[in-house]
Amino acid sequence: MYQKKEIAVAIRVALFGTKFMGKAHTQAWRNVNMFFPDLPRVEMKVIVGRNQAETDTAAQTYGWEEASTSWQQVMARDDIDLVDISTPGNLHHPMVIEAARQGKHIVCEKPLANTLTEAKQMVKAVEKAGVRHFLMHNYRRVPAVAMAKKLVTEGRIGKLHHFRARYLQDWAMSSDLHMLWRFDKKLAGSGALGDLGAHIIDLARHLCGEIAEVAATTETFLKRRPLAPGSKRKMTVTVDDAVAMCVRFKNGAIGTLEATRFAPGRKNFNSFEINGSKGSLEFDLENLNNLRYYSVDDSPAEQGFHEINVTSKGKHPYADNWWADGHILGYEHSFTHSVADFLSVIRGRKRIRPDFHDGLQNQQVLAAAEKAAANRRWVKIP
Ligand SMILES: NC(=O)c1ccc[n+]([C@@H]2O[C@H](COP(=O)([O-])OP(=O)(O)OC[C@H]3O[C@@H](n4cnc5c(N)ncnc54)[C@H](O)[C@@H]3O)[C@@H](O)[C@H]2O)c1
C-alpha cells in the first residue's frame, strides 16, 4: 500500500495582499512543493487583505486556510513562521518592522521601501531579529536570466563594457485612468522609477556589478488624474511616469536604464543587452524562454547572435524541476523559483540574493537617481 512519506516540520506562511502579486505569490506557494519536493513543506495558513468579503473569496479561490483583514493580528500569531508582504510600498516598512519584532522570516515585494530612511531601518530590524529576508526581484530567477548570469560569471562575454536595459509599459497613458496608489508618492514612493526602474537596477547590479554613480531625468506626462473612476474631480499625480538613467559601474562598465509607463504597444517589455570584450547577451521578457548570445570565439563565417532555448534538463537553470526539454515556462515560474530558493536556505545561514541589503543598495540608486534628476547632475552612490 502507498505509504505517505515522513514530512519535515512545515513552514507556515501568511500572505499580505490579495490582488496582482497576492495571486502571483500564491501560485508559487501552492506549487513549490510539487515541483521542488525536497524543500520544507509549505502550509498556506492565512491571506490578508483590506476588505473581508474580497479576502474571503481570495482565500477560497487561492487555497488559503483563513482570511483576515488585520495585518497586525496576523503578525502576532505564533503559528506563522514566514510572512510574505505583497502590499503597496507604504506598508512595506511598518509590516517588515513588526514582522522582524515578531521573529518571522520575511519575503517582501520590491522596491524594499518608499524612502532610503525606511530601507535602512528595515535592514537594521531584520539583522537585529536574526530572521531570514528575501526581496522579490523575481526576474533574477527567469531561467534565461539565470543562464545569462552563469555566462557572465564564467567570463564567456569577457570584460563587461555595456549594460543597457529598458523596462517599458503603456498602461498609464489614458487620461481617464484615475488616481491609483501607484500615482501617489506617499503610497508608492515613486512612479516608473521605483516600480520598473528598481527591477532593472537589480538586474544591472546582479549581472554587471555595483553602480558607482548615476545621472537621470524623469518626467510626469499626465499631471492630473480623476480622483476615482468617472469622477470629474482631479488630483495631482505626485510620481514620475518615466525615467531615463545613465550609470557608471564600479568595474568600469557604463549603462543606460530606461523605465516608462508611456510606451504604446509595450505591455511588459523588460529587456537588457550586455556587451563585453568577448561577446554579447540579449534578453527580453516577452520571449522569456530564450537567451540570445553572440561570441567572438565562434568561427568568423558563422558568427552571429544565436538563440538558446533555456529549457534543457541537466543543462539549464531550474529545468530539472519542470517538464521535458522544450516544454516552455512562463512569468509565474520566476516566483516559484524565488520561493523555492528561499525555502532551500531558510533553515540555514547561507545568504540568499537579493535580500534586504540588496534592497537597501537598490534604494540608494533610486534615491540618487531622484537627486540627479532634480539637480541635473551626476550623483555618486554611497
Ligand atoms: N515583482 C513584480 O514583478 C511585481 C509586479 C507588480 C507589483 N509588484 C509589487 O508588489 C506590491 C503590490 O503590488 P500589486 O500590483 O500586487 O498591488 P495591488 O494593488 O494589485 O494589490 C495590493 C494589495 O494590497 C492589499 N492591501 C492594501 N492595504 C492593505 C492593508 N492595510 N492591509 C492588508 N492588505 C492591504 C490590497 O487589499 C491588495 O490586495 C508592490 O510593492 C509592487 O511594487 C511587484
Q: Going by C-beta distance under 8 Å and a sequence separation of 6 or more, which residues neighbour residue 37?
A: none
CA dist 100 → 31, 62, 121 (Å): 26, 26, 11
The pLDDT tens digits of the residues spanning 72-108 come to: 999 999 999 999 999 999 999 999 999 999 999 999 9
**pLDDT confidence of residue 8:** 59
242 Cα–ligand 1 center, Å:
20
Q: Which residues, listed in sequence order, are joined to residue 159 by a DSSP beta bridge?
A: none
> Does the beta carbon of 89 sit less than 6 angstroms from any atom of ligand 1?
yes
Closest-CA residue, ligand 1 atom 4, reads: 21
In this structure, the number of other CB atoms found within 10 A of the CB of residue 180 comes to 14
**pLDDT confidence of residue 6:** 47
In this structure, the number of other CB atoms found within 10 A of the CB of residue 163 comes to 25
In this structure, the number of other CB atoms found within 10 A of the CB of residue 256 comes to 15
Regions of the chain where pLDDT drops below 70: 1-8
Integer Cα distance of 195 and 207 in angstroms: 19
Strands (E), the chain: 11-16, 42-48, 66-68, 82-85, 105-109, 133-136, 160-168, 211-219, 224-226, 234-236, 242-249, 254-260, 269-276, 279-284, 290-295, 306-309, 379-380
Global pTM value? 0.97
19 Cα–ligand 1 center, Å:
6
Cis omega (within 30 of 0) for bond into 300: no
**pLDDT confidence of residue 9:** 85
> Does the beta carbon of 19 sit less than 6 angstroms from any atom of ligand 1?
yes
Q: Which of 87, 114, 334, 356 to mutate to test the pocket of ligand 1 (most atoms within 8 A of CB)?
A: 87
> Which residue in 199, 195, 173, 171 sits closest to 185, CA to CA?
195
Q: Going by C-beta distance under 8 Å and a sequence separation of 6 or more, which residues neighbour residue 141?
A: 318, 334, 337, 338, 341
**pLDDT confidence of residue 57:** 98
